[in-house]
Structure 1
Amino acid sequence: MPPSAGSQVSRVPAQRTPPEELAPPAVAPAPRQPRRRLRTALTVIAAVVAALCLTGGVVGYLVYDRATTPDRSTPAVVVDNYLRAYLVDRNDVRANLFACDGAAEFEMLRRLRNDLAAREERFSTTMWVSWESFAVNQVDDNAEVRVDLTFSAVVDGIRQSDRQSWVFTTRLNDDWRVCSAAVAS
């Protein structure tokens, strides 16, 4: 129907739609799925490495502890270790690891070690100490250990030695310890 003379029709000029509005919106790329296999593999590898490190640390500690703990398992062993620390190495701190706590009687052994040191200085030589013939007499938690000590040195090209029998008393608390030392009568 044509418009009547009295009515007015408003006309809107035709507008062209911009092309970006006509096209469907661009789809954003799907987020990349994380590599779950790689993450799982790395987690397993990290757990295995952590377990190996922990196990290695525990084994290392146990080996170290066993290697550094003094052997005080028997009366003869504790006397042997005490003699090595006290007379050969002349290490009082190490020797105390094998000695009874408190009232230990080592005055005769102290005098012997001082005498050996004085002879070394006087004759400009080295005194060697060795021992053999451990005889153990154990009664309950006490034991008496008889040992033959040999002292030797080379003085003016001549080898000299002396042998003495000693008696060491030991006591068992948590482990064996040397409590006294004296020349055997």
Structure 2
Amino acid sequence: MPPPAGSQVSRVPAQRTPPEELAPPAVAPAPQRPRRRIRRVLTVVAGALAALCLGGGVVGYLVYDRATTPDRSAPDVVVDNYLRAFFVDRNDVRADLFVCEGGPDLEQLRLLRDDLIAREGRFDTRMSVTWGTLKMYPDGRDAAVQLDLTISALVDGIRQADRQTWIFNTHLDSDWRVCSAKPQV
């Protein structure tokens, strides 16, 4: 609409306001969590889990190795373990872990066990073999071990036993092994 007649209109030059004043202040974006922190935490957790798994694997291997490796640390220990595998468990594979390589002289002991097995069948009983104190006679890298084998059985309700003295010769290479066994006469 035009101004009324006769009125004076004063004209003021138009001024522009600077754009900063007209525009509402810019909203600052929400701060983002730095992704580096999450990555660092995940890296530390993954590293710790890897170290834990590796450590557990090593411990597991060492425990398994110790449990399955036969003890051949001393002459009396190797003879005791050999007799347990040979007479008690009757496990020739396990017993062979305790003998010398290259043909040990254990034939008389094998004949004794074969005779005991035959008697078990004949008398329908179980023959047990036990041993007492093992006496060692060391001689450098060789050692003789003397012991008494007690062979017993229950036949027709009567306990029968026989005692035999045996000498086992052992030898040390990387560990102790049984090389021969003979009854002492």
Give the match for residue 180 of structure 2: 180
SS of structure 1 residue aligned to 2:159: strand
Unmatched tracts of structure 2, length 5 or more: 1-28
By how many angstroms is 1:34 displaced?
5.6
SS of the residue corresponding to residue 97 of structure 1 reads helix
Residue 122 of structure 2: aligned partner = 122
Cα offsets for 1:21-70 (capped at 9, x unmatched): xxxxxxxx99x676221111111000000001101111111111111110
CA distance in 2, matches of 1:59, 1:88: 31
Q: Tell me what 2:78 maps to.
A: 78
Alignment partner, residue 137 of structure 2? 137
Aligned residues: 159
State the TM-score, normalizing by the size of structure 1.
0.81
> What residue in structure 2 maps to residue 168 of structure 1?
168
Q: Aligned ranges for residues 89-128 of structure 1 at < 5 Å?
A: 89-128=89-128
2:159 alignment counterpart: 159
User: Counterpart in 1 of 2:22?
Assistant: none
1:2-41 correspondence runs (5 A): 35-41=35-41
**Structure 1: runs of 5+ lacking an equivalent:** 1-28
In structure 1, the residue matched to 2:52 is: 52
Matched residue type, 1:107? E
- For residue 152 of structure 2, what is the amino acid of its counterpart? S
State the percentage of identical aligned residues.
63
SS at 2:164's partner residue? strand
**Counterpart Cα distance in 1 of 2:33 and 2:153:** 83
- SS in structure 2 at match of 1:168: strand
| Aligned CA-pair RMSD | 1.9
Amino acid at match of 1:96: D
- The alpha-carbon deviation at position 117 of structure 1 amounts to 0.1
Supply the AA of the counterpart residue of 2:177: R
TM-score, normalised relative to structure 2: 0.81
Q: CA deviation at 1:133?
A: 2.1
